[in-house]
Amino acid sequence: MNNAKKCIGLKIVALIAIAFGLLTLKSGGEVLFIDGAGRAAAGNYVPFVLWSNFLLGFLYILAGIGIWMQKRWAAWLAILIALLTLIVFAAFGWHINNGGLFEARTLKAMTLRSSVWTIIAFISYFRLIVQRYGK
């Protein structure tokens, strides 16, 4: 694969990460900080899932910027985000298994987040570390 195609692929991944971060901050912020339609529509949200996703939203944007700039640290940050997301997803599963209230859309959202960040982590790792440094 030539450098131009690699660069375009990373730019797309970066834009996805940044957009994901902005949307996460917007939707999470509406529920956490605005007593209105967003909070009412959230239903039986799980506070630790909401807070962790909201806080990770800042890292999503940072990782996206780093991937855009093709920085090696961004791949490690994407891996960290993927791992943290999977840990929160597992804790959410534990919450459900122990009879905790939840919304089905949270299960779908966590599946999407976990999948997206696992893919971003793999792509950024292979493009920014393996292909560039051979490690």
Contact 61, 18 (CB under 8 A): yes
Half-sphere exposure at residue 107, Cβ-oriented, CA atoms within 13 angstroms = 10
Q: pLDDT in tens for each of the 135 residues of the chain?
A: 566 666 898 999 999 999 999 999 999 998 999 877 777 888 889 999 999 999 999 999 999 999 999 999 999 999 999 999 999 999 999 999 999 999 999 999 999 999 999 999 999 999 999 987 765
**Does 60 reside within a domain?**
yes
pTM of the model: 0.90
Number of domains comprising the chain: 1
Inside any domain, residue 40: yes
DSSP character string of 110-126: HHHHHHHHHHHHHHHHI
Q: Are 48 and 88 in contact (CB under 8 A)?
A: yes
**Domain ranges, residue 9:** 3-130
135 lies in some domain: no
| CA–CA distance, 22 with 30 (Å, rounded to integer) | 12
Report if residue 83 sits inside a domain. yes
Spatial separation of the C-alpha atoms in residues 31 and 39, rounded to whole Å: 4
